[in-house]
């Protein structure tokens, strides 16, 4: 995504309602900085994220997609994030197999107490994606403005 | 050349029809061309005697047909090749049909041939093909008859066959084979060893040929949803030719993902693709990853096993580790 001449990657962050979204909130309350081009989408649990959502995000112009959920063992629904972990392991491995840059996708576990981790993760991920430049391999030209 | 003959199967079918075990038979009959064996349902003895065929072109896997067939009155007879029997078990695991309404006869398989390889070997203008003991006798418009050794034109899935063992049957014709130590992941490994750019170019070249006929989905015995995501009018990708390179990738990633852990590697998708896209390389990547990440798993080997994507252990590997594993740049 091009923002006012200077390139800023668009990051879509799926955050589960119970841990990671609260973690993002805490980052905000603590006035910790993270890039404003990270767009958070709240989901009930990380396992709500269907592989199609990830691809859709790329289609609509995301340059990087990150999933955040409760730490393994801490999922509000007991085991949701264990399924997320398997699904995303396979999906990301497949994307890599198709030659799509592996730095564009990530899963990170962030608890409600980890505001600092949330901000640091987003800073770091945004930087990594910025280094790759725009997403060309999974983009949909029709969605370009 | 198949060891079991059409005659043997017809006799078995006649016997089972006659003694009332079944009231119809799922089998193959000749279609438009000599190499085009289409699935058919036979309800009476005459039809069976006249039209039933079994030869080296009978690749079609009947397991999926059982979903519709078992909703009808009475029992149906189905012939299962070893790879079909894995799909059969997988469908039973997912409660997709009623086992009580099927009589399954397992048949050994010597491997099916790929018509595009035959065409390459025999040239254009094929008039007729006869499957004989020492191979295929091909009559063409232009040439004298050619004899082709079946071994040389075997379908890719049969070259790297995972198992010659029927895993589901009520009765077996002939000898059961063994699970094979196959080379089916070799091609996947080759791709993994390429650089990211090479892999991208490879898949771009393959997937851009897709015409979205949906044949791969329709034939797949693991794709059995009554309403498919790709039929959803809100999805923007419903039943249509791709109009952007994103769509072809998305279709193939999602198609393969939806059967991950349930795909038995029967090879039907690659067989039916009119564009010769190596879909098995996508499925096998998932199978290989699952084996490496979560332990060996063969879908359909037994009824009732829990598919790896609806299962977990607390110390599964993280997605970032998974990606590193399949990456040659770091190897
Ligand atoms: S994806 Fe292909 S190989 Fe796997 S079960 Fe479906 S048709 Fe068979
Ligand atoms: S069968 Fe081949 S051409 Fe048809 S939708 Fe599948 S991959 Fe595309
Ligand atoms: S609720 Fe947070 S991952 Fe399930």
Average model confidence (pLDDT) for chain B? 92
Q: Which residue has the tokens 């981790």?
A: A117
CB of residue B111 inside a 6 A radius of ligand 1 = no
Instruction: Provide the pLDDT for residue A108.
Output: 97
Please report, rounded to a whole number, the percentage of residues in chain B having pLDDT higher than 90.
77
Phi and psi at B240, nearest 5°, equal -150, 165
Task: Please tell me the total count of domains within chain B.
Answer: 3
The DSSP result for A11-45, as a single string, is: EEEEEETTTHHHHHHHHHHTT----TTEEEEEESS
Which structural domains are found in chain A, ordered by start? 2-137 (3.40.50)
Shared domain for B195 and B72, answered yes or no, is no
pLDDT per residue over A82-111, tens digit each?
A: 999 999 999 999 999 999 999 999 999 999
Instruction: Provide the pLDDT for residue B80.
Output: 97
Shared domain for B9 and B90, answered yes or no, is yes
Shared domain for B177 and B37, answered yes or no, is yes
Shared domain for B138 and B173, answered yes or no, is no
CA of A70 to the centre of ligand 3 (A): 5
Q: Quick check: A98 and B253 in contact, CB under 8 A?
A: yes
Shared domain for B93 and B228, answered yes or no, is no
Which residue of B234, B279, B322, B331 is the best one to mutate when testing the A interface, meaning the one whose CB has the most A CBs within 10 A?
B322
DSSP state of B154: B
What mean pLDDT do residues B153-172 have? 94
Shared domain for B143 and B101, answered yes or no, is no
Shared domain for B128 and B211, answered yes or no, is no
pLDDT grade, residue A2 (50/70/90)?
low
pLDDT grade, residue A145 (50/70/90)?
low
Contact B253 A98 (CB under 8 A): yes
- Domain limits for position B118: 113-153
What mean pLDDT do residues B2-17 have? 93
Shared domain for B22 and B78, answered yes or no, is yes
> Which residues pair with residue B102 across a beta bridge?
B76
Buried b (16+ CB within 10 A) or exposed e, A95-114: bbbbbbbbebbbbbbbbbeb
**Separation between Cα atoms, residue B40 and residue B68, nearest integer Å:** 13
Contact A107 B320 (CB under 8 A): yes
CA of A36 to the centre of ligand 1 (A): 43
Nearest to B13 by CA among B77, B72, B66, B58: B77
**Separation between Cα atoms, residue B195 and residue B324, nearest integer Å:** 13
Q: Which residue has the tokens 């398997």?
A: A86
Shared domain for B36 and B53, answered yes or no, is yes
Shared domain for B214 and B325, answered yes or no, is yes
Shared domain for B143 and B220, answered yes or no, is no
Helix then strand count (H, E) for chain A reads 4, 6
Whether the per-residue pLDDT at A115 is higher than 60: the answer is yes
CA distances from A137 to A141, B71, B201 (A): 11, 45, 10
What mean pLDDT do residues B254-273 have? 96
Q: Quick check: B38 and B31 in contact, CB under 8 A?
A: yes
Counting atoms of ligand 2 from 1, which one is nearest the CA of B209? Answer: 3
Instruction: Provide the pLDDT for residue B37.
Output: 93
Residues 6+ positions from B266 with CB-CB distance below 8 Å: B61, B83, B84, B86, B87, B157, B221
CA of B327 to the centre of ligand 3 (A): 29
Whether the per-residue pLDDT at A62 is higher than 80: the answer is yes
The ipTM (two decimal places) reads 0.93
CA distances from B146 to B21, B114, B123, B141 (A): 43, 16, 10, 12
Instruction: Provide the pLDDT for residue B218.
Output: 94
pLDDT grade, residue B290 (50/70/90)?
very high
């Amino acid at each position: 995504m091009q923002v006012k001449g200077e390139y800023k990657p668009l990051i879509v962050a799926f955050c589960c309602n119970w841990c990671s979204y609260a973690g993002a909130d805490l980052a905000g309350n603590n006035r910790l900085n993270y890039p404003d081009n990270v767009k958070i989408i709240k989901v009930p649990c990380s396992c709500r994220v269907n592989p199609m959502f990830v691809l859709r995000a790329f289609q609509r112009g995301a340059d990087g997609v990150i999933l955040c959920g409760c730490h393994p063992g801490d999922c509000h629904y007991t085991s949701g994030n264990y399924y997320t972990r398997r699904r995303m392991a396979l999906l990301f491995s497949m994307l890599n197999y198709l030659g799509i840059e592996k730095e564009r996708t990530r899963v990170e576990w962030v608890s409600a107490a980890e505001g600092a981790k949330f901000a640091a993760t987003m800073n770091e991920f945004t930087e990594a994606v910025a280094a790759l430049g725009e997403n060309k391999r999974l983009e949909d030209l029709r969605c370009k403005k | 050349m198949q060891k079991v003959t059409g005659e043997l199967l017809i006799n078995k079918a006649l016997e089972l029809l006659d003694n009332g075990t079944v009231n119809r038979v799922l089998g193959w009959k000749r279609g438009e061309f000599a190499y085009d064996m289409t699935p058919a349902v036979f309800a009476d003895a005459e039809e069976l005697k006249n039209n039933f065929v079994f030869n080296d072109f009978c690749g079609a896997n009947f397991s999926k047909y059982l979903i519709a067939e078992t909703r009808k009155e009475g029992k149906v007879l189905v012939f299962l090749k070893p790879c079909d029997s894995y799909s059969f078990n997988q469908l039973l695991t997912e409660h997709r049909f009623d086992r009580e309404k099927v009589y399954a006869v397992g048949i050994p398989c010597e491997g099916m041939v790929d018509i595009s390889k035959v065409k390459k070997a025999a040239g254009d203008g094929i008039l007729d093909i006869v499957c004989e003991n020492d191979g295929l006798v091909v009559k063409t418009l232009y040439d004298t008859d050619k004899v082709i050794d079946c071994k040389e034109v075997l379908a890719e899935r049969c070259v790297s066959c995972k198992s010659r063992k029927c895993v589901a049957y009520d009765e077996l014709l002939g000898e059961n084979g063994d699970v094979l130590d196959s080379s089916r992941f070799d091609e996947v490994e080759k791709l993994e060893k390429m650089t990211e750019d090479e892999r991208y170019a490879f898949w771009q070249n393959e997937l851009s040929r897709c015409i979205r006929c949906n044949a791969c989905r329709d034939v797949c015995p693991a794709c059995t949803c009554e309403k498919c995501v790709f039929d959803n009018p809100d999805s923007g990708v419903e039943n249509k030719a791709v109009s952007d390179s994103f769509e072809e990738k998305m279709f193939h990633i999602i198609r393969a993902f939806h059967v991950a852990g349930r795909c038995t590697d029967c090879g039907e998708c690659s067989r039916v693709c009119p564009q010769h896209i190596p879909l098995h390389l996508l499925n096998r990547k998932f199978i290989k990853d699952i084996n490496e990440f979560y332990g060996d798993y063969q879908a359909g080997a037994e009824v009732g096993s829990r598919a790896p994507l609806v299962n977990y252990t607390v110390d599964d590997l993280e997605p970032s580790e998974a990606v590193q594993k399949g990456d040659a740049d770091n190897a």
